[in-house]
Amino acid sequence: MRQLNVVFTPFVRKIAAEQTILTLPGCDVNYTKSFPRIIDAQLRPDCTAVAFTMDDGVPVRFNGVEEVLPAIAIGTGGSQYTQVEKTPRSYTSIIFSPGVEDRGWMEGGPTWRFYVVSESVLHRLRNLVLQLLAAASEFADEPEGGVLAMAMRESLFAAVDMAFAGVVATPEYLRANFSSKFKVFRDAEAAIAEHYDSPIYSGDIAREIGVSVRTLHDAILQFRGMSLHRYLRLRRLWLVRQRLLAGADSVKAAALAFGFWHLSDFAHNYLLQFGESPSATLARSRASGSSPTH
């Protein structure tokens, strides 16, 4: 997405996604079908984004809260969010650039904020997106700033206006938007990112960001939906996989580089996570000349 910086860690071996982008005057409508993953994203400056799911699959964990009620999210320039997607899901994000300031929408903030709406409101938003995409395909020759494009944008504004006018106050969701644990979580992610080419452990992270291991564990559990140990193992497994896909010297060397000293346990966990053995990944990479992006 042109106005969103994204980093992800997949839960599966095969990464498959689809995206349709409808460009209208001053906004992009992004319809995405994603894969099981952890995603961290930050909106670029001078933008406003509104996002919602397009299906009713397994709940995602958005900024530390399970999506169990119909909801929409809003982000403003520079705001961040984190999301855990355990199964493939479909989403729409509408990114307005420049940002929207004069329509009375709910506020964004340093993090994207989550607001509960009625099922009928979410249903109307979903239907509108599908109708817009269908209509756009029929009028492919319409200029980007033409009458049809302007009318489509106005329909989007009206639908989002109605959605925010019908927000249902839900303290649990609103509290999560301002959780003090989010700062601990983001500091931990930054510390992990600094050690991209080497193993990092819970005590190291806690000391680096100035909190207890318990506080760190609680923050990871809230925002990742898994224990600190499991999350760090997942990150290290993914880093090993990237190295194998790039054509490492050996499976053993790649595993040891990221702290996996018990090689049989490593191979077992790798197989469970990615559906193939690490040796199969390396052999396939060498045979095909694959890179970490494949």
pTM score of the predicted model: 0.73
Can you tell me the mean pLDDT for 37-43? 92
* pLDDT score at 294: 41
- On whether both 206 and 112 belong to a single domain, the answer is no
Question: Which residues make beta-bridge pairs with 53?
Answer: 91
- On whether both 195 and 212 belong to a single domain, the answer is yes
Q: Distance of CA 144 to CAs 5, 24, 97, 151, 153, Å?
A: 24, 6, 15, 11, 11
* pLDDT score at 124: 93
Confidence band for 196, pLDDT divided at 50, 70 and 90: low
- On whether both 88 and 142 belong to a single domain, the answer is yes
Measured CA to CA, the distance from residue 173 to residue 17 in angstroms comes to 28
Tokens 């909801």 locate to 71
- On whether both 68 and 168 belong to a single domain, the answer is yes
Identify the domain boundary among 177, 212, 240: 177
Contact 38, 224 (CB under 8 A): yes
Read off the CATH number of the domain in which 240 is found: 1.10.10.60
SS3 40: strand
Tokens 């040891």 locate to 256
Domain hosting 24: range is: 4-177
- On whether both 141 and 257 belong to a single domain, the answer is no
pLDDT tops 70 at residue 245: yes
pLDDT tens per residue, range 218-230: 888 888 888 888 8
- On whether both 123 and 199 belong to a single domain, the answer is no
Contact 43, 3 (CB under 8 A): yes
Q: Among candidates 287, 283, 274, 210, which has minimal Cα distance to 251?
A: 283
Identify the domain boundary among 177, 212, 237: 177
Contact 101, 74 (CB under 8 A): no
- On whether both 19 and 162 belong to a single domain, the answer is yes
Measured CA to CA, the distance from residue 58 to residue 258 in angstroms comes to 32
- On whether both 268 and 252 belong to a single domain, the answer is yes
**Is beta strand 37-43 parallel, antiparallel or unpaired with respect to 4-10?**
antiparallel
pLDDT tens per residue, range 59-118: 999 888 888 888 899 999 899 899 999 999 999 999 999 988 878 787 767 888 888 888
- On whether both 289 and 237 belong to a single domain, the answer is yes
272 alpha-carbon distance from chain centroid: 22
Q: Which two tokens stand for residue 241?
A: 């996989």
- On whether both 201 and 249 belong to a single domain, the answer is no
CA geometry: angle at 291 spanning 205 and 239, to 5°? 15
The average confidence (pLDDT) of the chain is 85
Query: Which residues make Cβ contacts (< 8 Å) with residue 134, sequence separation at least 6?
Result: none
What is the domain count for the chain? 3
pLDDT tops 80 at residue 195: no
Measured CA to CA, the distance from residue 77 to residue 39 in angstroms comes to 18
